Amino acid sequence: HKQVKKICCLGAGYVGGPTCAVIAYKSPNVIVTIVDLNKARIDAWNSDELPIYEPGLEEVVKSVRGKNLFFSTDVDTAIKEADLIFVSVNTPTKKSGVGKGYAADLGYVESATRHIAKVAESDKIVVEKSTVPCRTAQSMRKILESNGKPGARFDILSNPEFLAEGTAIRDLFAPDRVLIGSLDTPNGRAAAASLADVYANWVPRKQVITMNLWSSELSKLAANALLAQRISSINALSAICEATGADVDEVSYAVGLDSRIGPKFLKASVGFGGSCFQKDILNLVYLSESLHLPDVAEYWRQVVEMNESQKRRFTQRIISSLFNTLTGKRLAVLGFAFKKDTGDTRESAAITLIKYFRQEQAKIALYDPKVEESQIWFDLAEPGVVDDVTALKKQVQITSSAYEAAAGADAIVICTEWDEFRDTQLDYEKIYATMNKPAFIFDGRLILNQKKLEKIGFKVECIGRSRLEESFE
Ligand code: NAI
């Protein structure tokens, strides 16, 4: 099989950027060019301020950029020169038309594929890196075969990405597994072997697994569906805990010791966010419906519904604790990113919660250590509402520290589990002194020591833990 010497990646986003930067870092003999249509994004990758934040990313990029890692908007040249092309473009949920709200919008994948067909002059291995519905590789193959130049042959692989934002570099350095799907033909297997060799620069061979294309595509959707399902399951249990006096952290610890269940990814919270879980489950729902499997579709749909219900329930708890009204009250919202150690806000629970708080006429003081101010206004503005930002700015203030957000507040709402919000890092006595009394804390991420804060004087409300506890003793 062919040795890969030049790689091109279409899409310099959260996946394409870190993934291909790590490939370059770990494979000094391979030249990697990451391209994007978005010039601002490419400029940022070439600057000191990378467009995305991930612990460890900057070191990786800066050590190989200009050596065997390049960022460019010259898509044509990068495609022409590459032996292997990753398609790592966005696949958002469709906003209109057939499958609206569920199906993946494959427009970006298709146009990237057509671009490859149009400019490629020699054989290419085309790799689906984006998360796509089952059998997308088939569509890509048809597009490439019917539009490609004579003499250029295309092999399609599926190589879904399992990195988690916030730990992307760690995940890429030591993946649980690398999955490569190919057609079960000599050409397909040879292409898979070429890609496997690239990963073999740093991933143990036995962790690079190969299988058929459709299994590989479905495995990515399945992994995200199962991960999200765990969160919705523990969140559903958290509701029972709050109503009974059980403590969800204790329940999670107890059940996690069962080796069949395991302890990871069992933390109750205000709900999952991020660009992938909801999108990929809805995609699976759509797939199930198209395959005439309504019960299967309904099962997975419920995972997303439970996530929405968790946010509503948390909001309801805040309202009832604050004497049934939020009108004019100041809520210090700590955290806006969908999880810690990322500046990504896509589908962040904080966006939904702030929307609910605004509907209750609360005043919001928001602080996040990483998210850009412009991103926050963008996420909170309601599309189509005239001059919404003026109205928004009357209700929402962005502050530059947790202390500033909490000053004069009636309640603190923890939305993101940033380490700096922990009671070992923030001076909660100082915060307490500046707040209206009774001073409430709503811990949506279970990161605080409830007893310690109650000693200071806070009224503390945690997901999955009731204040009925005393009456059960
Ligand atoms: P993103 O939106 O951050 O990046 C996609 C980039 O592709 C954008 O910068 C866009 O300008 C560019 N692009 C679109 N069409 C293009 C074209 N024809 N040529 C060149 N560039 C083009 O998206 P992200 O988060 O990187 O996700 C990409 C894919 O990876 C999605 O399918 C997603 O589901 C999947 N994925 C995402 C993970 C995550 O943690 N964000 C994890 C695993 C998979």
Indicate if the pLDDT at residue 471 is higher than 60: no
Centroid of ligand 1 to alpha carbon of 131 (angstroms): 9
- pLDDT band for position 385 (cuts 50, 70, 90): low
Indicate if the pLDDT at residue 384 is higher than 80: no
Residue 402 or residue 471, greater confidence:
402
Indicate if the pLDDT at residue 383 is higher than 80: no
Indicate if the pLDDT at residue 470 is higher than 70: no
Percent of the chain at pLDDT > 70 equals: 98
Long-range contact list for 260-266, CB < 8 A, 24+ apart? 265/227, 265/230, 265/231, 266/230, 266/234
8 A C-beta contact, residue 426 and residue 447:
no
Q: What is the per-residue pLDDT across 130-169, written as a single tens digit (0 to 9) for each?
A: 999 999 999 999 999 999 999 899 999 999 999 999 999 9
Indicate if the pLDDT at residue 422 is higher than 90: yes
* Domain 249-472 = CATH 2.60.40.420: no
Mean pLDDT of 110-116: 97
Per-residue pLDDT at 390: 84
* pTM over 0.90, yes/no: yes
Q: Is 152 exposed, middle or buried (0-12, 13-18, 19+ CB in 10 A)?
A: middle
Residues flagged as binding site for substrate: 161-165, 220-224, 260, 267-273, 338-339, 445
Q: Which of 301-310, 376-385, 425-434 has the lowest mean pLDDT?
A: 376-385
- The CATH class for the domain spanning 6-203 reads alpha beta
Ligand 1 atom with least separation from CA of 168? 40
Indicate if the pLDDT at residue 47 is higher than 80: yes
Per-residue pLDDT at 207: 97
Give the count of alpha carbons within 13 A of 222, CB side only.
Answer: 7
- pLDDT band for position 386 (cuts 50, 70, 90): low
Phi, psi of 412 (to 5 degrees): -105, 135
Q: Is 12 in the pocket of ligand 1 (CB under 6 A)?
A: yes
Centroid of ligand 1 to alpha carbon of 92 (angstroms): 9
Task: Give CATH 3.40.50.720 domain extents, the chain.
Answer: 6-203, 249-472
Centroid of ligand 1 to alpha carbon of 192 (angstroms): 22
Q: How far is CA 172 from CA 169, 178, 370, in A?
A: 5, 9, 22
| Distance between CA atoms of residues 326 and 354, nearest Å | 12
Per-residue pLDDT at 387: 66
Indicate if the pLDDT at residue 251 is higher than 90: yes
Centroid of ligand 1 to alpha carbon of 334 (angstroms): 28
Residues flagged as binding site for NAD(+): 11-16, 36, 41, 89-93, 130-131, 165, 276-279, 346
The residue nearest atom 14 of ligand 1, judged by CA position, is 89
Indicate if the pLDDT at residue 473 is higher than 50: no
The residue nearest atom 12 of ligand 1, judged by CA position, is 11
> Which residues, including other chains, have CB under 8 Å from residue 120's CB and lie 6 or more apart?
79, 80, 148, 149, 152, 154
The mean pLDDT of the chain is: 96
Mean pLDDT of 317-339: 98
Indicate if the pLDDT at residue 174 is higher than 60: yes
